[in-house]
Amino acid sequence: AQKKIAVVVGSLRKDSLNRKLALAIAHLAPPDFTFEHVRIDDLPLYDQDQDGNQAPAVKRLKTEIAAADGVLFVTPEYNRAIPGVLKNAIDNASRPYGQSAWAGKPAGVVGISIGQIGTAVAQQQLRAVLAYLDMPTLGQPEVFLQNKEGLFDDKGHVAEGSKQFLQGWVDKYVAWVNDHSK
Ligand code: FNR
């Protein structure tokens, strides 16, 4: 059956490496998997006083996550942590209490940075958050990419040297979602 993945990119910038990584992953997935980027740049800052009156953008995000068979988080690391925009999206769609959109959705976590330890710290933090949200998250292989000149081509494909590595991850992720989605 067709599987739909909601892709959450933790960077808002136009030329985001993480956005390119998300596209490259989608290119490597089998035809019965579709990847749809969810918008997080128009969400309000999370405010618990609005739990009973969520903004249209929050409701939209929750609907998109609810409709997905799995979630893919593709995130940079900002100051050794997950970007605020990503945490804000997670918090918004986790409420009101008991009505989280995330619960039970199988997740994957990957990221790319320009730094040597390529998003490892941010990914560890994100995993702790996803565990709390009751999202079964693929443990291995891990994807901590460091950007190199020419890693992505202008069509959003990953260069030959990294293709096999990323394909291995995609194959595991696809199997993970198939095993864990209802
Ligand atoms: C960074 N960058 C960064 N890189 C890293 O590996 N660890 C870090 O803690 C940080 N911290 C950090 C903070 C802030 C505010 C910015 C803007 C950047 C560099 C980061 O890897 C680089 O900007 C990436 O290109 C960001 O990902 P996108 O936007 O290309 O997807």
Model pLDDT for residues 110-120, shown as the tens digit of each residue: 999 998 888 99
The β-bridge partners of 36 are: 6
**Cα-flanking dihedrals φ and ψ of residue 2, to 5°?**
-65, 135
d(CA 159, CA 155): 11
pTM: 0.97
Pocket flag, ligand 1, residue 84 (CB < 6 Å): no
Please give the number of the atom of ligand 1 that sits closest to the Cα of 17.
Answer: 30
The complex scores an ipTM of: 0.99
Residue type, 63: T
DSSP 137: B
d(CA 144, CA 1): 30
Pocket flag, ligand 1, residue 123 (CB < 6 Å): no
Please give the number of the atom of ligand 1 that sits closest to the Cα of 12.
Answer: 29
Lookup result for tokens 């198939």:
178
Helix pair 160-180, 17-28: axis angle to 10 deg: 70
Write the CA distances from 46 to 7, 64, 87, integer angstroms.
Answer: 20, 18, 9
Map residue 55 onto helix, strand or coil.
Answer: coil
d(CA 48, CA 26): 34
Pocket flag, ligand 1, residue 70 (CB < 6 Å): no
pLDDT of residue 1: 82
Please give the number of the atom of ligand 1 that sits closest to the Cα of 79.
Answer: 9
Give 73-126 pLDDT, tens digit per residue: 999 999 999 999 999 999 999 999 999 999 999 999 999 999 888 899 999 999
Structural domains of the chain sorted by starting position, each given as residue range(s) with its CATH number in brackets: 3-180 (3.40.50.360)
Give 5-14 pLDDT, tens digit per residue: 999 999 999 9
**Is residue 96 within 8 Å of residue 52, measured between CB atoms?**
yes
Mean pLDDT over the full length of the chain: 96
Which residue's CA is the nearest one to ligand 1's atom 6? 115
